[in-house]
Amino acid sequence: MSVLTLRYLIIGVLAAVATMGSSATGSAAPIPPLSDAARAAGFVDVRAVVPDAVIDLRYATSNNFVGIPLYPPTARCLVHESLAGGLATAARLLRAGGERLVFWDCYRPHAVQARMFEVVPNPAWVARPGPYARSHVAGRSVDVTLALADRLVDMGTGFDDFTARSLAYATEGISVAAQANRARLRDAMTAGGFTVYDGEWWHFDGPGAGVDRPIPEVPVT
């Protein structure tokens, strides 16, 4: 084999390896600029904080307890910037075990909260909307679960399961494995400064989530 032939062979192998690498890792889609209203409210796109986040906004689909989309299909996962560091911490801890955060809901417009309460007028399951913003409506709470590379992690119930099994520390009807999975999610989120909501294993409140604030007029897109 001549030196020239060997050189071309090496170049070809290196090119193939580079192609495989880029295909395997993929390249994150660019994050669209935030609206002026979102920036003014101090919101950030979760993908800018947790690049490997799985965004599955259930209220942008009919796969929710209302049965119809409540967000436009272009809805994005927005949170207040005060949550950014904590989400990055939680994601990093989970990533070490091969898991990723899945976001089911983030910032929720006040009008959507009102519509939800019309459907389920029970404050035990859906927060009663008021003349102020808290929790999701303030962009300071998230609904999350865990995923492995090829599937969601078993948590014992799905999203918005309005039964006692959805309680954060439920044991009856919840397998030991699912209880451990919930505990692992809780541990990661609390390490990031979030507070567990006892009524829903998927709901976590960031700092200041319970403080009354002006209702933000921010599009969810």
CA distance 188 to 201: 13
Residues facing residue 152 across a β-bridge: 147
- C-alpha to C-alpha distance for 135 and 149, rounded to whole angstroms: 30
At 131, which amino acid appears?
A: P
Strand partners, 54: 102
Is residue 78 within 8 A of residue 43, CB to CB? The reply is yes
| Residue ranges at the known binding site for Zn(2+) | 136, 143, 203
Using CA atoms, how far apart are residues 172 and 139, in angstroms rounded to an integer? 32
State the angle between helix axes of 176-191 and 84-95 in degrees (0 to 180), rounded to the nearest 10: 140
Tell me if 127 sits within 8 A of 205, measured CB to CB: no
d(CA 171, CA 201): 12
The answer to whether 202 touches 146, Cβ cutoff 8 Å, is no
Q: Is 200 tagged catalytic?
A: yes
Residues tagged in the binding site annotation: 136, 143, 203
Q: Which of 81, 99, 172, 200 is catalytic?
A: 200
Q: DSSP code of 152?
A: B
Residue with tokens 């030991």: 176
Active site residues per annotation: 200
